[in-house]
Amino acid sequence: MGSHASIRRGVFKAMFRNLINFTRLLRILFQLLRYDVLYPIIWSKHLTFISWFVKIARIFRNRAYDNDRSGQRIASCLIKLGPSFIKFGQTLATRSDLIGEEIANDLSLLQDRLDPFSFNEAKATIETETGTQIYELFSSFEEEPIAAASIAQVHYAVTMHGEEVAVKILRPRIEVSFAYDVALFIWIAEFLESHFSWTRRLRPVEVIKVFAETISFEMDLRMEAAAAAELAENFQDDPDFKVPTVFWATTTKRIFTLERLEGCRPNDLVSLQKAGLNPTEILQKSACIFFNQVFRDGFFHADMHPGNVFITKDGRIAPVDFGIMGRLDLETRFFLADMLTGFLTRDYRRVAEVHFNAGYVPSDQSVDLFAQACRSIGEPILELPLAEISLAKLLSQLFNITEKFEMETQPQLLLLQKTMLVAEGVGRQINDQVNIWELARPLIEEWMIENRSPPARIKKMTRDVIAFTERMPQILDKAELTINQLSTGQLKLDPNTIHQFTELQRKNKSRFLWPIILLFATSIIFVGLSI
C-alpha cells in the first residue's frame, strides 16, 4: 500500500514539475519572440496554439532592436530574462559549434551590468558573514557600488590599516534564483535528449551540468579568491603581470576582498600614450602571459575582456576578476601544441592523427578524410597575411566539423578558443598590424623544444615507465585480492565474461607477454642512461 502511495506522490511531483517548467518555458518563449530571436512560424503548420502564441507575441514585439543582428537581439533578450540567462548566454558564447560563430561572437560581448542592490543589503551581508560590524572592519566604505553584475557587485573601501581594497558582495538570494533556473535548463536539456536524437552528440544535459557547476563555483567567492591566489603564485616572479592581493580575513563565501588597483583599459590607446606606455609592448607582454598561463601552467584566465583588465602606470597587466578560469591537463596541452604545430606547418595528416590518438575522433572514421577536412579549414586561414591569421578562428572552424566525423565536444578547448578570440580582438584594437601569436613565438618554440622534441618525449616516456613500475606492487596486490575473492566466491563473474576473457587470453597469449617484457627492459635501459 505504501509503495502505491509513494508512486502516486512521485507521479504527482513529476506532473507538477512539468507544469511549472512548461509555464516558465512559455514566458521565456514569449520574450524570445518579442525580441524576434526565435522563428517558430514553421511549427504553426502543425500546432494551432503555437500559431496564436506567435501572433500574440509579435503584437508586443520590441521594435527597438529591429536593426540588430540576431546575436545582439539574443543578448538583449537574455539581459531581460535575468542573471541566470545572462550567465548561460556567456557560457553559450564558448559553443560556436552549437550556435554558430557570428552569434557566439555577439554573445561573447554580453555584459551583465544590472541594477545594484541597496547598501543596507550589502552591509547586512558583510556583517552576517563576518560576525563583525562593517565599520569595525573598514575605516571607510563607499555606499555606491562601482560595478553591479549578475552575481555580485563591488564597493571600494579602506581597511582599518589604511589599505585600499575592492569588496565584492554576492547578490541577496542569488543561489535560490540560480537553482530555480538551472532546474528549468536541465528539464529542457533532458527533453531535447529524449525526443531529438541528433542533440545527444552535443550532450546538452552535460553542458547544463557543467554550467551549473561553474556557477556554483562563482557563487562561492572563496573559490574566486583561491583562483586569484593561484594565479598570483604562478606569476610571482613575473615583472609584467600583477594579480591583486587577496585579503583573506574579510573573504568568505559571500564576500571577496582584494587589493584595489588603478589603471586604464588595454584598448584605451589615448590613456596608454598619456602614461608613456607603448601599446605594442603591452600587446607583447599580454601574448607571453597568455601563453604561459595556457601551456606552462595549464591554468588560464578565461574572461580577459578589456573590462576585466587594467594596465597599471608602470605598464603591468593586472586582471581584476577571477570568476571564470580554465584548466588544461598536460595531455590536453600536448594535444593542443601538436595540433597547432601541424596546422602551422600544413602537416594535415599529422593534425588528423593527433585527433585520433587523443580519442577525440572515433577510430571507425577515416583519417584521410579528416585530414582533408583539416586542409579545407587551414588553407584559407593560413593564406592570409600574417597579421590577419586567427588561431581562434581556426579552432572554431575545426569544432564546426565535429558532427560530420562524430567528434565529441571538448568543453575545455571551447573555452580556450573563446578566450583566444577575445585576446585576438583586443590585440587588433591595440595594433591591427601585429599578430599576437607571432609575438609569443620565441616562448612557443622554447616550450616545444622542452616538451615535444624527441629527447623530451623520451624523458616523458622514461618518467611514465618508472611511475608504472612503482605502481606495480599495488597492481599486483589488487590482482591477488581479486583472485582470492574469486576463489572464495566473494566475487562472481558472468559466464559470458569468463568465456570472452578465456578466448582473448588464448588468442593473444604471446602478444600479451611481449609488451610487459619490453616495458621492463625499456625501464631498465632508461634508468641506466639517466644514472
Classify residue 292 by its DSSP letter. I
User: Which of 170-184, 391-405, 488-502 tops mean pLDDT?
Assistant: 170-184
Q: What is the pLDDT of residue 451?
A: 79
Mean of pLDDT over the chain: 80
Q: What share of the chain is helix, strand, coil (3-state, %, to 5)?
A: 65, 10, 25
C-alpha cell at 30: 514569449
Residue 455 has pLDDT above 90, yes or no: no
In percent, how much of the chain has pLDDT > 90?
28
Q: Which of residues 60 and 173 earns the better pLDDT score?
A: 173
Report the distance separating Cα 411 and Cα 416, nearest Å: 9
What pLDDT digit, counting tens, does each position of 197-219 carry?
777 766 788 878 877 887 888 88
Report the distance separating Cα 85 and Cα 202, nearest Å: 20
Residue 136 has pLDDT above 90, yes or no: yes
Q: What is the pLDDT of residue 458?
A: 76
Q: Which of residues 324 and 133 earns the better pLDDT score?
A: 133
C-alpha cell at 392: 581562434
CA angle 78, 112, 129 (to 5 degrees): 120
Residues labelled catalytic:
303
| C-beta of residue 320 within 8 angstroms of C-beta of residue 244 | yes
Three-class DSSP category at 74: helix
Instruction: Say if residue 509 is exposed, middle or buried (CB neighbours under 10 Å; 0-12, 13-18, 19+).
Output: exposed
Q: Which of residues 531 and 260 earns the better pLDDT score?
A: 260
Report the distance separating Cα 185 and Cα 169, nearest Å: 26
Report the distance separating Cα 433 and Cα 421, nearest Å: 17
- Amino acid symbol at 475: I
Q: What is the pLDDT of residue 82?
A: 81
Q: Which of 179-183, 358-362, 512-516 has the lowest mean pLDDT?
A: 512-516
Three-class DSSP category at 351: helix
Three-class DSSP category at 301: strand
pLDDT band at 531 (very low <50, low <70, confident <90, very high): very low
Continuous H helices in 359-453? 367-382, 391-399, 411-430, 436-439, 441-452
| DSSP-derived pairing of the beta strands 255-259 and 164-170 | antiparallel
Residue 481 has pLDDT above 90, yes or no: no
Q: Is the pTM of this model over 0.85?
A: no
What pLDDT digit, counting tens, does each position of 314-357 carry?
999 999 889 888 899 988 998 888 888 888 889 999 999 999 99
Q: Which of 234-248, 254-268, 462-476 has the lowest mean pLDDT?
A: 462-476
Mean pLDDT across 152-163: 95
| C-beta of residue 300 within 8 angstroms of C-beta of residue 332 | no
User: Which of 50-64, 289-303, 432-446 tops mean pLDDT?
Assistant: 289-303
Residue 405 has pLDDT above 50, yes or no: yes
Report the distance separating Cα 246 and Cα 501, nearest Å: 56
Nearest to 360 by CA among 377, 342, 335: 335
Report the distance separating Cα 214 and Cα 351, nearest Å: 31
